[in-house]
Homo-oligomer: A and B are copies of this chain.
Amino acid sequence: MFNKRTDLAVEARDMYREDKDKEIPGVEVDVSETKGIKVTRVNIQQEVGARIMNKPVGNYITIEADGIRNRDRDVYEDASRTLGEELQRIAPADRDSTTLVVGLGNWNVTPDSLGPKTVSHLMVTRHVFEYLPDQVDEGVSSVCAISPGVLGITGIETGEIIEGIVSKIKPDRVIAIDALASRKMERINVTIQIADTGISPGSGVGNKRKELNHETLGVPVIAIGVPTVVDAATMASDTIDMVVDTMLKQADEGMEFYQVLQNMKGEDRYNLIREVLDPNVGGLMVTPKEIDDMVNDMSKILANGLNIYLHPSIGPGDVDRFIN
């Protein structure tokens, strides 16, 4: 029985493989690595795979660039370019079209501010197309962008705001950027997931109740997600695994207890831990202390990748040249 929740397709795949020691049926996986950047392309082709992975049928590309953590400039630039390329691969851009970029999340909470920060760096052009069409540079496509805020700030479901705007301005595609939760600390702020299936309810750092996808918005929705937090209960659960593991390597005691822990279904243990953590406090999140620099860097990588993807005249040599 496999049922741990994760926003990341690569994590869902890893968990299944740890458990079953084989690839998920109905899922095709392709992995490549260049200059320290690993790209995993997971294609969920059949319902059986979708059910196991708890994700809709579609494409999930993960870009992993550990060097971002050390603020390595070359990795920063390569990750920007790789994002541009993979976006082009998953959803070839028709440059006569209009793209709406949506920065999801709460600008007042550092790890949840990734979407709004990316939007603030982005090159926005739709108003020039609309009001000064003769001043439009060749090689630029029509891009608009909004950060709708979160339910607690606006009192309005994010999905309602976006549906309203989409119905009014009728873009050809929506790209939604969101901060995600990861199961593993080591993925925080160094992993980018692109999906052509949109955003699912309950994903992200905050709680979303409405899906943003082709069905709800009427246009293709590409989701770009970056894990910026680890759920606290997940972390505690994983920590227990690691502690027990480490202790077992050191001694024989605790065998029985380990078996008890191992025999508990993952979900049960996770729920036990959630109960044990102060239930009054509600959702907890775990972040590194350097979260502000990390979110800043990553938001610029996303803006660079989007600029390269969306505007034909912005090339791979233009990293940081056209972000605000």
Contacts and interface: CB of A to CB of B under 8 A. Distances in A.
A163 interface: yes
A31 interface: no
Nearest to A283: B289
- Identify whether the interface residues of A are mostly helix, strand, loop, or mixed: helix
Nearest to A168: B164
Count class of interface residues, chain A:
35 or more
A170 B232 CA distance: 38
Copies in the complex: 4
Interface stretch (A18-26, A36-44, A55-63, A104-112): A104-112
Contacts of A284: 185, 286-289
A155 B168 contact: no
A165 B155 contact: no
Interface in A269-324: 269, 272-273, 275-278, 280-293, 296, 320-322, 324
B164 A154 contact: no
Interface of A: 69, 73, 106, 108-110, 120, 124-128, 130-131, 142-149, 151-157, 160-161, 163-169, 184-186, 188, 205-206, 209, 232, 235-236, 239-240, 242-244, 246-247, 251, 253-261, 269, 272-273, 275-278, 280-293, 296, 320-322, 324
